[in-house]
Amino acid sequence: MIQELDCRGLECPAPVLQVRNALENETPATLAVLVDNEAARQNVSRFLEHQNYRVSSELQGGGFRVVGTRTEGGKASEKSPSAPVTKKKESGTKKIMVLVTSVHMGHGDDGLGDMLMFNFLKTLKEMGPELWRVAFVNSGVSFTAAGSEAVPILQELADAGVQITACGACLAFFHILDTMQVGTVTNMLEIVTGMKEADSVITV
Amino acid sequence: MSKETIRLTQTVKGSGCAAKLSPGDLDRALCGLDLPVDPNLLVGLDRADDAGVYRVSDELALVQTLDFFPPMVDDPYSFGQIAAANALSDIYAMGGVPKTAMNIVAFPGKTMDISILRSVIEGGLDKMREAGVVLVGGHTVEDAELKYGLSVTGYIHPDRILTKKNLQTGDRLVLTKPLGTGIVATAIKAGLADQELTDRVTRAMATLNRVAALTMDDFDVHACTDITGFGFLGHLAEMVVDSGHGVRIVAADVPLYTEALEWAAMGLIPAGAYNNKNFRGSFVDFGADVSQKVQDVLFDPQTSGGLLIAVSAGEADRLVEALKAHGITCAAVVGEVVSEPVDRIFVV
């Protein structure tokens, strides 16, 4: 039986959050969502597509029935060989998450910013075992891809048990999803929940 | 209940300018009304401009506007600041100087502690002080949901009114605040926005367009509006339709919150964005490289957004430099006015 979620009468963003909860509890092969307005239909469709579902929708009883069917290839982050599953952090340690949002560090001169950022990544290991995760977004994702001098540095961190993640949408945006060399692909939900899980988040 | 624990955004249905009545509905309500005629009414309802202008003498006109909405952030003081900055913005967009203001308040006195209302009004007063505006009164009604805003009156010279019209071929379009506040507000409501971004967007929304307006005063500006509930493309359409000109926008040059792109892809888009797209989408053509999520952000309803300024081509770069020098660091040329196709917006 197809799992059905009734989101009629709910205002944005509640329908999307309900669908998100449904996908978090289990990963249904097919999920049907009832909504009663066009904005909710489009938002739920977008969310399901974003979660690697194929989406169709039809008019039903003055509203819409949005049906998502899970496609293969989702959850790329779980398959990556470099996921540090064997080296868990010892419990009780503080977790620091570093969010790298650009190839430059700071504003002013970009050349200087490039040098500073490279130096920052090289020096990150000095944080020691409290460094839990480094997440790359926007142009920062290029550090994880072929051609970046930072790849061996990040690999060293990954080998030491630090989670290296890069935003999939950003990698796709810069057309370097295929050339990623270190770390795992992540999404905004994982970044956001990671921020919540971390004891401190450092954004550069 | 304490004001520290209540999340204002959880107490209302719509938030900020995203709570605006859809533009199509408003048009249907106003269309064909018998409006009073007065030779001193220089800019009235028929022009659908940012604020109304009434001539008092050859040297002086009053510029008047009103804006209020439900909260889009959880902190009462910040909400007050943002609502006031948003209301004052229409005066700046016309090239006027705000002078007096009155509070407009709807408050759920049975369910919300009165200290929250005090914080909201304190936030508003903070922005009025910054703007050099004096509060002369106000009106408060009991309502199911909190709403706050201002009715503002300012001065303007009758010969120096900046409207949405008067685009000239070759003009560059300059935007002074990043887009995406409606989507970010939706993410805040969903509990997905982190504190750093929430603070950054709150600061931007609470920033007066005063410095931007003072800065553009020194340049050859032909037209101006502020970006609020109808979104960037909705307000731009108001400039372009019946202008006899077209506009070419370079999406990659438009300042926006990058987080809003991801949330747009996730479907955290306020209903107002879809209304805006339905109402004004027919005036807009998108190039093949402009992704769906970028289109969504361009239609996203903004709360207390920036000024969109049409300036002569030769002065555009200097205007942007001057804006940046005055702390408006995201200011950018986002497009230009072209001779054709007329009355259309092309986004590449």
B133-164 per-position pLDDT tens digit: 999 999 999 999 999 999 999 999 999 999 99
Show the CA angle centred on residue A181, arms to residues A177 and A183, nearest 5°.
90
For residue B113, give the DSSP letter: -
CB contact under 8 A, B186 and A12: yes
Q: Which residue in chain B is spatially nearest to A44 when comparing CA positions?
A: B267
Whether residue A62 is found in the same domain as residue A154:
no
Whether residue A12 is found in the same domain as residue A40:
yes
CB contact under 8 A, B190 and A50: no
A148, amino acid identity: S
| Residues 6 or more apart in contact with residue B148 via CB below 8 angstroms | B68, B69, B71, B79, B80, B83, B103, B104, B105, B106, B120, B121, B124
Lowest mean pLDDT of B69-73, B177-181, B257-261, name the range: B69-73
Bigger pLDDT: B81 vs A108: B81
Q: Which residue in chain A is spatially nearest to B18 when comparing CA positions?
A: A12
pLDDT, position B35? 82
According to DSSP, the β-strands at B246-249 and B97-107 are unpaired
Average pLDDT on B276-291 reads 93
- In this prediction, residue B1 has a pLDDT band, given cuts at 50, 70 and 90, of very low
pLDDT, position A16? 94
Interface of B with A in 71-90 (CB under 8 A): none
- Nearest by CB: A12 against B194, B196, B270: B270
Edge-first strand order for the sheet with A63-70 is A3-6, A30-35, A63-70, A53-60
Q: Which residues of B touch A16 (CB under 8 A)?
A: 190, 266-268
The answer to whether the CB of A182 falls within 8 A of the CB of A176 is no
- Nearest by CB: A50 against B258, B265, B270: B265
- Give the pair of three-digit tokens for residue B79: 């909400």
The answer to whether the CB of A72 falls within 8 A of the CB of A173 is no
Whether residue A65 is found in the same domain as residue A155:
no
CATH number at residue A86: 3.40.1260.10
- In this prediction, residue A87 has a pLDDT band, given cuts at 50, 70 and 90, of very low
- Contact with chain A for residue B263, Cβ under 8 A: yes
pLDDT, position A84? 34
Choosing from A70, A89, A115, the residue where a domain stops is A70
CATH topology of domain B172-347: Phosphoribosyl-aminoimidazole Synthetase; Chain A, domain 2 (3.90.650)
According to DSSP, the β-strands at B97-107 and B134-142 are parallel
pLDDT, position B320? 98
Bigger pLDDT: B346 vs A129: B346
Edge-first strand order for the sheet with A184-186 is A184-186, A163-167, A131-136, A96-100, A200-203
**Is the confidence at residue A77, as pLDDT, over 80?**
no
Average pLDDT on A106-124 reads 89
Q: Which residue in chain A is spatially nearest to B277 when comparing CA positions?
A: A39
d(CA B30, CA B37) in angstroms, rounded, equals 16
- In this prediction, residue A78 has a pLDDT band, given cuts at 50, 70 and 90, of very low
Whether residue A191 is found in the same domain as residue A134:
yes
pLDDT, position A24? 86
CB contact under 8 A, B271 and A169: no
d(CA A160, CA B105) in angstroms, rounded, equals 57
- Catalytic, out of B17, B31, B224, B330: B17
Whether residue A174 is found in the same domain as residue A101:
yes
Backbone angles phi, psi at B50, to 5 degrees: -70, -35
Whether residue A8 is found in the same domain as residue A56:
yes
- Nearest by CB: B268 against A13, A107, A203: A13
CB contact under 8 A, B266 and A47: yes
pLDDT, position B318? 98
A78, amino acid identity: E
- Contact with chain A for residue B274, Cβ under 8 A: yes
Q: Which residue in chain B is spatially nearest to A168 when comparing CA positions?
A: B262
Q: What share of chain B is helix, strand, coil (3-state, %, to 5)?
A: 40, 25, 35
d(CA A2, nearest CA chain B) in Å: 22
SS3 (DSSP) at A201: strand
Q: Please give the share of chain B, as a percent, with pLDDT higher than 70.
A: 96
Choosing from A49, A70, A91, the residue where a domain stops is A70
pLDDT, position A99? 94
Q: Please choose, from the candidates A51, A4, A1, the residue with its C-alpha nearest in 3D space to the C-alpha of residue A23.
A: A51
Q: For chain B, what are the domain ranges?
A: 8-156, 172-347
Q: Please give the share of chain A, as a percent, with pLDDT higher than 70.
A: 89
Whether residue A42 is found in the same domain as residue A140:
no
pLDDT, position A93? 66
**Is the confidence at residue A169, as pLDDT, over 70?**
yes
**Is the confidence at residue B14, as pLDDT, over 80?**
no
Whether residue A132 is found in the same domain as residue A195:
yes
Whether residue A66 is found in the same domain as residue A80:
no
Query: By CB neighbour count within 10 A (0-12 exposed, 13-18 middle, 19+ buried), where does A10 fall?
Result: middle
- Contact with chain A for residue B258, Cβ under 8 A: yes
Lowest mean pLDDT of A36-40, A66-70, B284-288, name the range: A36-40
Q: Which residue in chain A is spatially nearest to B291 when comparing CA positions?
A: A173
The answer to whether the CB of A137 falls within 8 A of the CB of A99 is yes
Element of type H or E holding B240: helix B231-240
Whether residue A114 is found in the same domain as residue A143:
yes
Choosing from A22, A50, A70, the residue where a domain stops is A70
d(CA A157, CA A167) in angstroms, rounded, equals 18
For residue A88, give the DSSP letter: P
According to DSSP, the β-strands at B332-338 and B172-175 are antiparallel
Number of domains in chain A: 2
- Contact with chain A for residue B190, Cβ under 8 A: yes
Q: What share of chain A is helix, strand, coil (3-state, %, to 5)?
A: 40, 25, 35
- In this prediction, residue A82 has a pLDDT band, given cuts at 50, 70 and 90, of very low
CATH of domain B8-156: 3.30.1330.10
pLDDT, position B18? 58
SS3 (DSSP) at A143: helix
Whether residue A46 is found in the same domain as residue A84:
no
- Contact with chain A for residue B60, Cβ under 8 A: no
pLDDT, position A75? 45
CB contact under 8 A, B259 and A195: no
d(CA B323, CA B326) in angstroms, rounded, equals 5
pLDDT, position B145? 93
Average pLDDT, chain B: 93
d(CA B8, CA B272) in angstroms, rounded, equals 20
pLDDT, position B16? 57
- In this prediction, residue A81 has a pLDDT band, given cuts at 50, 70 and 90, of very low
Average pLDDT on A158-169 reads 87
- Which residues are bridge partners to B175 per DSSP? B308, B332
- Nearest by CB: B274 against A39, A137, A167: A39
- In this prediction, residue A178 has a pLDDT band, given cuts at 50, 70 and 90, of confident
Whether residue A84 is found in the same domain as residue A146:
yes
d(CA A131, nearest CA chain B) in Å: 20
The answer to whether the CB of B138 falls within 8 A of the CB of B103 is yes
What is the per-residue pLDDT across B34-64, written as a single tens digit (0 to 9) for each?
A: 888 899 999 988 777 889 999 999 999 999 9
The answer to whether the CB of B306 falls within 8 A of the CB of B177 is yes
For residue A31, what are the domain limits? Answer: 3-70
Assess whether B17 carries a catalytic annotation: yes
CATH number at residue A25: 3.30.110.40
Lowest mean pLDDT of A88-92, A169-173, B179-183, name the range: A88-92
d(CA A67, CA A28) in angstroms, rounded, equals 11
B219, amino acid identity: F
Q: Which residues of B touch A41 (CB under 8 A)?
A: none
